[in-house]
Amino acid sequence: MTASVANALSTGTWAIDPAHSSISFSVRHLMVSKVRGSFEAFSGAIVVAEDGTPSVSAEIAVDSVNTGNEQRDAHVKAADFFDVENHPTASFVSTSVRPDGDDYVLGGNFTLKGVTKPIDLKLEFNGVNPGMGHGEVAGFTATVVLNRKDFGVDVDMPLETGGTVIGDKVTITLEIEALKQA
């Protein structure tokens, strides 16, 4: 992490504030549009070491998926998609942070449906604010495009006219506000 971000985040633990954060996704549907959804339950922390080196860990309750359609949500939770009965959480643990122009790349290991793979999130640091009486807050936006099949979400639903009902690429966007812990 560059000096500007390392200096902005004081040493210690910054807990992700789920009330002021979101994890959303989008995936192609019928080759012509996108279905969007979110995960409503998640937690995590950023720990800044004495030398300014940050580490990030996060967990998502996969059964908290919400696409705005109960029938679709039930199908996404089933064994051919997320298999939440056997894999109730997804997780991320960082391994590196490196500058990328004015932004950063947050590297780490992402686990979904029992499959762990390295991923790189494009990370934008939005700054630090003194907060509203509960301590400092820091804001981040992160995005990544994953291939769902790389994580065992490999259901194929071909269309008679070619293509598939669901695209392979899933765009995940995280809007994170983290609260400095006392």
Q: What count of residues does the chain have?
A: 182
Residue 172 neighbours by CB distance under 10 Å? 19
Burial readout 57-74 (b: 16 or more C-beta within 10 A, e: otherwise): ebbbebbbbbbeeeebbe
* Domain of residue 67, CATH code: 2.40.128.110
pLDDT 10s per residue in the chain (182 long)?
444 555 578 899 999 999 999 999 998 776 667 889 999 999 999 999 998 889 999 999 999 999 999 998 999 999 988 999 999 999 999 999 999 998 999 999 999 999 999 999 999 999 999 888 888 999 999 999 998 889 887 777 655 766 556 677 899 999 999 999 97
Q: Domain range holding 34?
A: 3-180
pTM: 0.89
Amino acid at 179: L
Number of domains in the chain: 1
The answer to whether 98 touches 138, Cβ cutoff 8 Å, is no
Contact 123, 102 (CB under 8 A): no
150 CB-contact burial (10 Å; exposed 0-12 / middle 13-18 / buried 19+):
middle
pLDDT tens for 122-156 read 999 999 998 888 889 999 999 999 988 898 877 77
